[in-house]
Amino acid sequence: MNTSFATDIGQTSEQSAALFAKVACDIRERGYSILPEALPEPLTRQLLQQVSNLDETEFVAAGIGRQSDFVHEQRIRSDEIVWITGDTPPGALWCQWTDQLRLILNRQLLLGLFSFESHYSHYAPGAYYARHLDAFKGERNRVLSVVAYLNPEWGDNDGGELVLYANQEDATGVKVRPQRGTLVVFLSEDFPHQVLPAQRDRYAIAGWFRTNTSTATRIDPPR
């Protein structure tokens, strides 16, 4: 990590390495990691500023599936999204930070993570995402799911919690308040999860580390 990048995100290379090692340890031991105040504050501030300044026409209704299988299904999810690219300063910093995470996860867990995709998500009051899995067993496309929260001063009564379930039989789960700076990483195939309705606008980043499953006739991930 170069000095300029460390200054921009407000986190030294040693701090980042320790944080990412903690994520790797949690994934190894239990399959998920929930770390409050993990996202560096300067990075969080820049990401929140960018998503707050987006025009409402830039958001699109989130759906299920890809390409010909893509559908909008209000019964399942009612959030809206904007994909993050590296062509803006906040997006570039986020992509660099998550790539450092990818390298350490590969080094410590040998996951073969090849690429990362992510988007801003906006849940208007009352919006939700029903219980689901980010990847199905054996597909090996999405390996690790990443969620980062951007909401300042999120109260106990504001709702919008992520509920992470241990398996399909788990009816209780672990609730995660979408408080600014909280980072959640979990195995995409193993943990069903949902987003409960919020009482106020809720902003987050959702992303996925993927393996390279491209072939001569198919590029993965498609858009």
Q: How far apart are CA 11 and CA 186, in angstroms?
A: 23
Report residue 129 as tokens: 């995402």
More confident residue, 4 or 102: 102
Domain assignments of the chain as residue spans, ordered by start? 3-209
Q: How far is the C-alpha of 12 from the C-alpha of 47, rounded, in Å? A: 19
- Distance, in Å, from the CA atom of 202 to the CA atom of 161, rounded to the nearest integer, reads 10
Residue 65 has pLDDT above 60, yes or no: no
Tens of pLDDT, residue by residue over 9-63, are 888 889 999 999 999 999 999 999 999 999 999 999 999 999 999 998 999 987 5
Global pTM reads 0.89
Does residue 152 have a cis peptide bond before it, meaning omega lies within 30 degrees of 0?
no
Task: List, in sequence order, the alpha helices (H) in the chain.
Answer: 3-9, 13-30, 41-53, 89-109
Residue 222 confidence (pLDDT): 46
Q: Give the pLDDT score at 5.
A: 80
> Which is more confident, 214 or 94?
94
For the segment 77-110, what is each residue's pLDDT rounded down to a tens digit?
889 999 998 899 999 999 999 999 999 999 999 9
Place domain 3-209 in its CATH homologous superfamily: q2cbj1_9rhob like domain (2.60.120.620)
CA distance 176 to 199: 15
At residue 108, the pLDDT reads: 97
